[in-house]
Amino acid sequence: MRNGDDLEGFDGEASSASMISAASSPYQPTTEPVSQRRGLGGLRCDLDYLRGTLGRLKVAEVLLALTAFICIETIMECSPCEGLYFFEFVSCSALVVTGALLVLFSLSLHTRIPQINWNLTDLVNTGLSTFFFFIASVVLAALNHKTGAEIAAVVFGFLASAVFALNAALAGQRWRLGRRAQSRASSEYVRARSESREAVPRPETQRLDA
């Protein structure tokens, strides 16, 4: 029969074991507020990007491309129609690609795919959109019939070209800075490895000294 001291020791060991098992259990309750937990797989809106220059330019590009596409879709008759079809394709493509990039950047989804150079991707998209929007606007201005929808499409097309050009300039600058930082980091890594190799003596040298 256990005495009082043995029972107290046994209870202390049992309570310690229960505390350890509770601490190591992955199903222990959390005190984190429910409102602070991330929902939808950790998606969050990057308000800093949307408030920045690149975010505002992306929103403006999407709105201008959408407006130009709506204007060109309201035209019911055309002859010739090649300029209209080309402008329609360019505005729709720019709207889809730029809208997808806006969603990726604003929700920080691009950080989950670090294998892609997103600065270069943005530079290529904005550069191609600038070129093709400008060409499509020039062609539509030369072949239109001076209707209100065609004139509005041409105006929004040139505005989209200007905004895409500004974004391309900023994206190119950002891409060059990223390349310089990457090359600097790689050179520092190589120099650090070479210095560490020189600091460690070779086994042959140790045996000869001995």
**Tens digit of each residue's pLDDT (9 = 90 or more) over 18-47:** 444 444 443 344 444 443 434 445 678 888
Query: What mean pLDDT do residues 92-102 have?
Result: 95
Phi, psi of 77 (to 5 degrees): -130, 145
Structure tokens at 16: 């310690």
When comparing pLDDT for 190 and 60, which is higher? 60
Instruction: Please tell me the chain's helix, strand, coil percentages from 3-state DSSP, rounded to the nearest 5.
Output: 80, 0, 20
pLDDT at 97 over 70: yes
Residues 164 and 61 sit within 8 Å (Cβ to Cβ)? yes
For residue 58, the tally of other CB atoms under 10 A from its CB is 24
pLDDT value at residue 15:
47
Give pLDDT, residue 146. 76
Q: Is 88's pLDDT higher than 60?
A: yes
Running DSSP on this structure, what letter comes out for residue 109?
G
167 has pLDDT over 90: yes
Q: Please give the share of the chain, as a percent, with pLDDT higher than 90.
A: 40
Total Cβ atoms within 10 A of residue 41: 6
Quote the pTM value: 0.66
Ranking 84-93, 102-111, 120-129, 138-147 by mean pLDDT, the lowest is 138-147
The residue that leads in pLDDT, 131 or 143, is 131
